[in-house]
Amino acid sequence: MAGKIVMYQLFEDFVDAGDKNIYSADPTLPLILIVWEYIDKERVIRPKIDGFVEIIVPMMSKTEFRRHFRVCFDVYQHLLNDLTPTLTKNYHGGNFPVSPDKKSLMFLWYAANQDSQREIGMMFGTGEWAVNTYIKEVEEIICRHSARYIKWPNIQLENDISRSFYDLCGIRNIDGAVDGTHIPIVNCPGGNADYINRKGFAWIQLQLVVDDTLMINSAYVGWPGSTDDARVLRNSTYFDDPEQGRKITPGKFILGDGAYPLKKWLLSPYRDNGHLTNSQKLFNKALSLGRLCVERANPHLKGRCRRLQKVYCKEHVDICNLIMTPCVLHNLCIICEDELDDFIEMNLAQNVNNYRNVYVNLPSAEATRNAIAANL
C-alpha cells in the first residue's frame, strides 16, 4: 500500500489531465506509468501444495520413493551429498533460499516424469520460473562434475571387463561397445533443418560407450539427428584418444555395428552380401552378443528418465545438459546397485536412420578381424 501511495504522488507530480504533450515533456514518464500500472494490479495468487518435500516425501517408503522418482533412495542421497556444497546459498535477508534437497528432488521428478514445469511448481510449492531456474542449476552442476562418474576404466578394471566380454561372446580383449541413439526434440536449435531425420522428425544424437555392466564410460551429445553414427564418432571427443593410442590399451577393442568402420581399436561386423563364410557368420553373431550391453543401456536411459522421450528445451546447451544428466544418473544407479531391468523399455531402442558405414576400413584392421573370426 505504501508503494502505491508513493507512485500516486509521483504520478500527480508528472501528470496534468489537460496536457496532451506530457510524454514529450518528460521522457521518464512512460517508465513511471508502467511501474505504477504494475503495482496497481491485484496480485494473482496461484494455489500450490505446501510441505510436499518436508512432509510427504519423508513419509514415502523406499519402494514408493523409487516408483515416483525412478531412482532408489541411495542414488538420491549420493547425488544430494555431491550437490549440497554447491547448491547451498547463504541467507542475506528476504525470502529464505530453497534447500538443496528440494532442488535435487525437483530435478529428479522433472527427469523421471513428463510433467510440465507448471505442474512441478504447483507440487513443490514454487513458481514456474523458479522451477526452470533450479532445474537448470542442478543440471549445470551435474554436467560440470560428470567426469567423476563417466570415465574410462583403469588397467585392472579394463582387464576385468575384457574377461567378462570373453565369457559373454567369445571375443578376447573387448573393452566395451559403442552406439548412437536419437533423442526426440521439439525445437530445432537455431532452426537448423539438419536435426530432421529421414522420417521427418527432429532428433539430436547421443553416443555412448558402455562396458559389460552397462556402465557408461564415454558419453557425447550434440550432433543433429540426420548425422550418421560414424561421422558423430569421428567428430566426438572420444575419437582422438584411441587413434593416438590413449585410453584403449593397444591390442584391445570396442565393438560397433555396421554403421562404423574398422579401426585398430574398433571392430564392426562383416557386411552380409549373401556369401559370408561360416566363420564370418559366427563372428557377426558373437559381435552382436557383445553389443547387447549398449543396446540395453540406451532404452534404460529413456525408460528411467522419461524426460528423454521428448525434450522441450530450445537452446542447444540446455538440450545437451538435459541429456547428459541422465547418463550420470544411469551410472549412479549401477554404483548404488539400483536394479536396471525394471526400467529398460526395449521399444524405445530404435535406429531411425539405419545408415551404413561410409568410411574406408583400415586394411590392417580387416586382417585383425579375419584372424579373430578364424579363431572363434
End-to-end CA distance of the chain: 84
For the segment 129-152, the average pLDDT, to the nearest whole number, is: 94
SS3 per-residue string spanning 13-58: HHCCCCCCCHHHHCCCHHHHHHHHHHHHCCCCCCCCCCCHHHHHHH
With a cut of 70, say whether residue 41 has pLDDT above it.
no
Please give the model's pTM, rounded to 2 decimal places. 0.84
Tell me the per-residue pLDDT of 196-212, one tens digit each, with 9 for 90 and over: 877 788 999 999 999 99
CA 51 to each of CA 48, 122, 123: distance values in angstroms, whole numbers, following the listed order = 10, 11, 9
With a cut of 90, say whether residue 364 has pLDDT above it.
no
User: φ and ψ at 240, to 5 degrees?
Assistant: -65, -35
With a cut of 90, say whether residue 188 has pLDDT above it.
no
The grid coordinates of residue 306 equal: 522419461
96 versus 272: the higher-pLDDT residue is 272
Residues of the chain with pLDDT > 70, as a percent, come to 84
pLDDT confidence of residue 43: 60
Yes or no: say if 197 and 226 are a contact pair by the CB < 8 Å rule: yes
Helices 128-144, 117-124: axis angle to 10 degrees equals 100
Report d(CA 356, CA 271) in Å as an integer: 9
* C-alpha torsion sign, points 195, 198, 203, 205: negative
CB atoms within 10 A of CB 335: 13
- Which of 171, 363, 166, 370 is closest to 277 using CA atoms? 370
Type and span of the H or E element at 202 = none
Report d(CA 180, CA 234) in Å as an integer: 12
Tell me the per-residue pLDDT of 299-351, one tens digit each, with 9 for 90 and over: 999 999 999 999 999 899 999 999 999 999 999 999 999 999 999 987 766 55
pLDDT confidence of residue 50: 86
With a cut of 80, say whether residue 140 has pLDDT above it.
yes
pLDDT confidence of residue 165: 96
Mean pLDDT over the full length of the chain? 86
Binning pLDDT at 50, 70 and 90, where does residue 272 land? confident
Tell me the per-residue pLDDT of 155-187, one tens digit each, with 9 for 90 and over: 999 999 999 999 999 999 999 999 999 999 998
The grid coordinates of residue 348 equal: 524405445
- Which of 373, 321, 367, 345 is closest to 146 using CA atoms? 321
232 versus 356: the higher-pLDDT residue is 232
pLDDT confidence of residue 227: 87
With a cut of 50, say whether residue 276 has pLDDT above it.
yes
Sheet containing strand 253-255, edge to edge, reads 216-224, 203-210, 174-184, 253-255, 266-267
Q: Which of 41-45, 73-77, 172-176, 372-376 has the lowest mean pLDDT?
A: 41-45
Helices 73-87, 100-112: axis angle to 10 degrees equals 130
